[in-house]
A and B are shown apart, each in its own frame.
Chain A
Amino acid sequence: MDQPCLIVDDISHPGVRMLTLNRITKANALHEELYARLKHAFIEVNDLPLIRAVILQSASSKIFCAGADVNAFAELPLKEAQIKRRQQLVDTLCSMLTCHKPVIAALQGKVIGAGAMLALAADAIFTSPSVTLSFPEIHLAMPSPIGIAILEKRANLHHVHRLIQLGEILGTEELANAFLIDRLCALKPSWMSAFSMPACPWTQRLTE
């Protein structure tokens, strides 16, 4: 039986919905099904009073998400496929931004393009030291105003320019300096171990 591209776990950590991107063979590229499952998971949690927060992570320590799957809607004309992919991205981002619960992105590895937009739409961003974040669209001659809209929420013009206009890849130190991440964590087998550190009051509140 095929593994689901998104693992939804409301049981392992009471009060916390764990969403795990699990399309590893495609570097967690966002395709129609993954977008739909993410959107559903963020909307559904609004009606689950026992869930107090959502953590979004990857099943891979090497990559969080490679961005939009350019093969999605490949059967359609190019422009039409782009519009449909864009609609799915926007719908998913809006479901995160309107999710009633705190959404925490727990990042490891590469965070790219639409995957970076997904991560940056979270309320809080925790990263391992291995994280790099980039918007390669400019290298593909693609404008990225949606990326700019997301980035402007957190970063100043200098970092927006470097990421979007120059297509630079930023590591954790620079991301922290740019206030693009909230906390740098040691790499742990389970992200919840990072949230369980006594010095982190949020954990206590999430799990109380």
Chain B
Amino acid sequence: MDECLQYASVPLDPEAYRVNKQWLNRGIMAEILDAQSHLNQLA
């Protein structure tokens, strides 16, 4: 049941999904770019 609920939570509206995903991933994008910059400085 939990599994079904998990998948049922996937939004159907493409625009809502896009906006949510952009918001969800904003932190990780910044972290990745920071990490890249840090590694390039080490090089």
Contact = CB atoms under 8 A, between A and B. Distances in A.
A binds B: yes
Secondary structure class of chain B's binding surface, majority of residues: helix
Given A83-B40, A143-B39, A149-B34, A205 B3 contact: no
B7 A94 contact: no
A97 interface: yes
A174 to B, nearest CB: 19
B39 A123 contact: no
Contacts of B17: 100-102
B29 A94 contact: yes
Contact of A183 (B3, B36, B43): B3
Contacts of A201: 4, 7-8
- Counting chain A residues whose Cβ lies within 8 A of the other chain, the interface size class is 20 to 34
B28 A146 contact: no
B36 A146 contact: yes
Contacts of B27: 153
A101 B16 CA distance: 11
Interface in B1-27: 3-4, 6-8, 10, 12, 14, 17-18, 21-22, 25, 27
- Counting chain B residues whose Cβ lies within 8 A of the other chain, the interface size class is 20 to 34
A205 B43 contact: no
Contact of A145 (B8, B18, B28, B39): B39
Interface in A69-89: 79, 82-83, 86-87
Contacts of B6: 182
Given A83-B40, A205-B12, A97 B29 contact: yes
27 contacts: A49-B14, A86-B36, A87-B36, A90-B32, A90-B36, A94-B29, A97-B21, A97-B29, A98-B29, A99-B21, A100-B18, A102-B10, A102-B17, A102-B21, A121-B28, A123-B21, A145-B34, A145-B39, A146-B36, A146-B39, A149-B35, A150-B28, A153-B27, A153-B28, A182-B6, A183-B3, A199-B3
Interface of B: 3-4, 6-8, 10, 12, 14, 17-18, 21-22, 25, 27-29, 31-36, 38-40, 42-43
